[in-house]
Amino acid sequence: MSTDSRFVHKIWQEEELSKMVDGGVPFPLLSDAGGRIGKVYGVYDEDAGVDVRGRFLIDPEGVVQAIEILTPPVGRNVSESLRQIKAFKHVLETGEVTPSGWQPGKPTLQPGPDLAGKVWKAWKVEMAF
């Protein structure tokens, strides 16, 4: 979602995104004319009239689980966004905890009082990513 019009989104999808992602991004691009949604999420820049780049992962119950806000000159990490989506989905489905850099198929952690102060025994930095 951005303050760009649906026509700008269409061109961006056809001329840019479809060349980066086979078939373009698999979700709709939405227009936030006037920044109404951006204001709710705290990313609308009144002076510039645009939404600052933000990423919000929202669970099926509508609860925001993750937020990332970047200034325009800094690109986003699509791989990390996808990794986080997979991790949140895994947590939702299993109740397990995914440590830093977790990828599907990698070890998870069982939440509980026995884990407190002992994560280092079950998870090592070199296991990330």
* pLDDT over 80 (residue 65): yes
pLDDT range class, residue 124, cuts 50, 70, 90: confident
d(CA 3, CA 71): 15
**Does the structure show a pLDDT above 90 at 77?**
no
Q: How confident is the model over 25-40, as pLDDT tens digits?
A: 888 889 999 999 999 9
pLDDT of residue 129 exceeding 80, the answer is no
Lowest mean pLDDT among 37-41, 72-76, 80-84: 72-76
Query: Cα–Cα–Cα angle for 97, 76, 57, nearest 5°?
Result: 40
Using CA atoms, how far apart are residues 88 and 96, in angstroms rounded to an integer? 10
What is this structure's pTM? 0.76
**Which one is predicted more confidently, 124 or 59?**
59
48 Cβ contact partners less than 8 Å away, ≥ 6 residues apart:
none
Q: Which residues have CB under 8 Å from 47's CB, separation 6+?
A: none
User: What is d(CA 27, CA 101) in angstroms, rounded to the nearest whole number?
Assistant: 25
The C-alpha atoms of residue 3 and residue 50 are separated, in whole angstroms, by 6
Please report the pLDDT score of residue 114 as a whole number.
83
Rounded to the nearest integer, the mean pLDDT of the chain is 89
Distance separating alpha carbons of residues 114 and 118, to the nearest angstrom: 7
**DSSP assignment of 26-62, as one string?**
SS---B-GGGHHHHHTT-EETTTTEEPEEEEEE-TTS
Give residue 64's pLDDT: 93
